[in-house]
Amino acid sequence: MAFVICIVPFAPLRKEDNHRSEMISQVLFGETAELLEEGKSFSRIRCLYDGYEGWCQTGQLTGIEDSVAENSPEALTAEWDTVILLNNHPMHLPLGSSLGILQRGKATLGKYRISYNGEMLHPAVALFSADAITSLAMQFLNTPYVWGGRSVMGIDCSGFVQQLFRFFNRRLPRDAYQQAESGELVGFLQEVRCGDLAYFDNEEGKIIHVGLLLNSDTIIHASGKVRIDKIDNMGIVNSDTGERTHRLRIIKRYFQH
């Protein structure tokens, strides 16, 4: 089995092997994937973190040993913008990029030499709290909505909550309807705790949107941009326009606190 790692700040993961194809997700720097099919321009990969499959530019990846891919601990960049050195040149990484490959701040991956001596967050020892997840979520505030995005440079609704939960060692699937399949059901909005997730459906009953509840009447979610809106038993009300934008389906809890 062959493995690769993303060697750019973030790489588009596309549905098909060309630049015009839909971006279905992103692979952030340091994230690892199984190499399913290698091509000159594009390679098909399966991301180890969430199992998502797609096509990524071959030049944005580099091969790694099996032991590195399977055994590297989670260590994430802690700042909105983190600068590392790649072959002695600066590279800016978004919040939540993976630096688990580093040992004592350094790593060599083929022709790439990486070094960093700044702060990292370690999800395995992170303590979940309302203040901690709220502070983290606020770092994404006003990030533009980008279909398939997973970073502070552009993010979608399910990518947003997936990244937030990653900091607290809670792994969520990539898509909202998949995320809704786990967690403990919260029966009433009045019982909400900060960190619960609210899911919203369309006319056909399919879950199409998710957001993080800050309390029983406030939600932060990616819709146009990462924004804070009001929520009631019917759904989300845009705080700028007063328009009702999303219909509430269910609420799930993933942390006990």
pLDDT of residue 151: 97
Domains of the chain by residue range: 3-121, 130-253
Residue type, 239: S
pLDDT tens-digit map of 188-228: 999 999 999 999 999 999 999 999 999 999 999 999 999 99
Integer Cα distance of 195 and 152 in angstroms:
19
CATH class of 3-121: mainly beta
Which class for 77: exposed (0-12), middle (13-18), buried (19 or more C-beta within 10 A)?
buried
pTM beyond 0.85, yes or no: yes
The DSSP symbol for 161 reads H
Residue type, 206: K
246 is an active site residue: no
Integer Cα distance of 209 and 247 in angstroms:
9
Three-state SS at 159: helix
Residue from 6, 56, 209, 246 carrying the catalytic annotation = 209
- Taking the chain, what is the end-to-end CA distance rounded to the nearest angstrom? 40
Residue from 6, 56, 221, 246 carrying the catalytic annotation = 221
209 is an active site residue: yes
CATH number of the structural domain 130-253:
3.90.1720.10
Q: How much is the mean pLDDT over the chain?
A: 96
What is the arithmetic mean of pLDDT over 137-152?
Answer: 98
Residue from 56, 157, 194, 246 carrying the catalytic annotation = 157
19 is an active site residue: no
